[in-house]
Amino acid sequence: MFATRLPATSDDYRRLAERRLPRFLFDYIDGGANDEQTLTANQRDFQSLRLRQRVLRDVRQVDTRCTLFGQAARMPLALAPLGLAGLYGRRGEAQAARAASTAGVPFSLSTVGICALAEVHAASAQPCWFQLYMLRDREVVLRLLQRAWASGCKTLLFTVDLAVAGIRHRDTRNGMLNQGWRGKLARASQLAARPGWLLDVGLLGKPHHFGNLTDCVADPKDLTAFKAWLDSQFDAGVTWQDILWLRQHWPGTLILKGLLEVDDALRALDCGADGIVLSNHGGRQLDGVASTIHQLPAVAAALDGRLPILLDGGVRSGVDILKALALGAQGVLIGRPWAWALAGAGQTGVEQLLAGLQRELVVAMALCGVQTLAQVDASLVG
């Protein structure tokens, strides 16, 4: 009789996802830009930090509860927005939103998610956060803002680090970017190697169009037309003036996602942002930039509590969450880990991943001698 190895960590779910996803989809979420130096640094720099263990402290009642932008959460974590998540699991964004609601943490829906806002909100007991890019067609931006607000979404994550798309060599190698016969043949062979995915997601998970953008192209089922429209919409001319325009049109919480430098964080404050996400897009944009945990202390010192900071990139454990909080973040986003868990084990996998992260955070806090998040500060990091 063979023993079954149960997943316990983010890396365990990554291995499950690699076995179950077609190669081009696994590489899309797993890979980074160019030589993937920043992708590697995001995790490596977390690992290089050392916590200080404290003993003989009363840690009988460790409490990870907090409030993230007015929303009560059981721990200082939210699920990051991920494009195409509905291809990692059947109606994936809806599954992940239900898991986040069960775990008591916010879920963020990407503009280019497969499931639409209405479907995600119908699936979850709590309204999601919504992620948006500045598109060339400002009328489309306004429609999306109005739709998000009308559906009950009050928190907007606005991504600012995608003036142009980064170069991701894995997507070239596996044929994802090639619309010719070679690319189609490569993708077909990868799909044929994953019959379970083909049935569960490929057939039963339809429709596979971008749910929030179905009114932007004539035929929502034509993914090639969708891609051409999206490629034409990313605006390399966006400036801080556009953020001021956005602030005028969005009455809810505005969080700018994709800042790394102190001067940009201070500009976000001046433009009326309610918070920032310190992020290098998971190492998927400019390779060779610093990791987010490396940048965090300087940005936190410059803002000096005037703007909440969420950290995105490299968080793989509850220990990592504690390190980010100690260096000045109010919370973290996780992206790849929940995508791997969704692909590997569906909604149950995401729920178990989140429960595991909370347990790890509780244990790390207890062994560092703190009971509440308010007691976490830089003295915990050596």
User: Could you list the active site residues?
Assistant: 281
Positions of E strands within the chain? 66-68, 71-73, 77-79, 108-109, 129-132, 155-159, 253-259, 275-278, 309-312, 331-334
The answer to whether 244 touches 276, Cβ cutoff 8 Å, is: no
Whole-angstrom Cα distance, residue 257 to residue 268?
10
* Rounded-to-10 torsion of CA 301, 307, 310, 313: -50
The answer to whether 118 touches 94, Cβ cutoff 8 Å, is: no
Alpha helices (H) along 236-373: 240-249, 262-270, 292-303, 318-326, 336-367
**SS3 state at 101:** helix
Whole-angstrom Cα distance, residue 64 to residue 106?
15
Nearest CA-CA partner of 325 in 337, 350, 308, 338: 308
Q: Which amino acid is at 295?
A: Q
